[in-house]
Amino acid sequence: MKFSVVICTYNRAKYLLETLESVARQVYPVSDFEIIVVDNNSTDSTEEVCHSFIHQYQALTIRYFKELRQGISYGRNKGVNEAQGEFIAFIDDDETVNTDYVQNLSDFFRGYPDAELCGGPVVPVYESAPPEWLSPFTMRLITGAYDKGKEIKVVGPKDYPGTGHATFKKALFLQYGEFKTDLGRKGTSLMGGEDKDFFLRLIQNGVKCYYLPSAIIYHHIPDSKLSDDFFKRLTYAIGKSERIRTLSISKSVYYKRIFSEMIKWGASIVLFFYYAIRLQYSKGWKLIEFRSQVTRGLYG
């Protein structure tokens, strides 16, 4: 088997079926890919949705697992350990893909036989009109929006993709370890950092990360993710996650991260005045709020 599509889920039955059906409609040979669903202790109808889906698509190889240890990192590590494919494609439970998604991945790895890692663009799909304060500088934070152009290219540490739109050679996990379980979301918390930690580990060891424009992910954004409360909780969690991630490496790495935060403050202030001049106050103020919450979390 060449590909394992791993979907980790927690209480998103409303969106999960759409995600699963988009993967089921692949034009790629069914014998060459499997779908793995890891249910991280959902309390909604996730299990029923999955069993119904498996019954409906019996021609596909679909395996459902429960991961009782709470946290996205535990879920992803479970998916990695259960995957039988040479490559693991992660898709989040609120995302959908085109019918040629897996085929495009296959074509890429065939054309680039030395490639071990790639990530594709993320297109936000809003339930309603996005708020006025949303800018290119907060869009990826909230929606995961990711676009590096129309050509295949190698991206650097500052442009690494998120796990939810990336495909890894399974051997990478055997060589460099799994996702750190003290990072990443647990239940309703908004902690993160597991993506950054793992990607930086790979890049620092010389693993090239490719951008594959044909591997498009559509990320469905509910109104709840565009609220002021969600924004404040998410940005604080980003800072807190960075504190945990950097201190786990060394205090010097943590202090370097604090120094870079000061530089980011300077850039945020410049952007604030840029938007103020353009009479787009909400965009500028949201960047100041973003920086303030990250700093609070970073200092603990």
**Would you list the domain boundaries of the chain?**
3-224, 232-299
CA–CA distance, 230 with 183 (Å, rounded to integer): 19
d(CA 33, CA 188): 31
What average pLDDT does this structure show over 101-121? 96
Q: What is the pLDDT of residues 134-162, one digit of tens each?
A: 999 899 889 999 999 999 999 988 888 98
Contact 222, 126 (CB under 8 A): no
Return the structure tokens found at 296.
Answer: 């609070």
Give the fold, CATH level 3, of 3-224: Spore Coat Polysaccharide Biosynthesis Protein SpsA; Chain A (3.90.550)
Confidence band for 118, pLDDT divided at 50, 70 and 90: very high
pLDDT in tens, 231-264: 999 999 999 999 999 998 899 999 999 999 999 9
DSSP label at 79?
Answer: H
What is the layout of strands, in order, in the sheet containing 3-9? 61-66, 33-39, 3-9, 87-90, 166-169, 117-119, 209-211, 153-155
Q: What residues have CB less than 8 Å from 222, skipping those under 6 apart? A: 94, 127
Cα–chain center distance at 107: 23
Amino acid 111: pLDDT: 96
266 CB neighbour count, 10 Å cutoff: 10
pLDDT band for position 300 (cuts 50, 70, 90)? confident
- Residues forming a β-bridge with 123: 218
Count of Cβ atoms closer than 10 Å to residue 117 Cβ: 21
Across the range 88-95, mean pLDDT stands at: 96
Q: Characterize 63-90 residue by residue with b for buried, 16 or more Cβ atoms within 10 angstroms of its Cβ, and e for exposed.
A: bbbebeeebbbbbbbbbbeebebebbbb
SS3 assignment, position 8: strand
pLDDT digits (tens, 9 = 90+) for 33-55: 999 999 999 999 999 999 999 99
- Residue 186's pLDDT band, with cuts at 50, 70 and 90, is confident
pLDDT at residue 1 in the model: 66
Mean pLDDT, rounded, of the chain: 93
Cα separations (Å) of 15 from 98, 118, 128, 152, 236?
A: 16, 25, 16, 30, 26
> Percentage of the chain surpassing pLDDT 90?
84
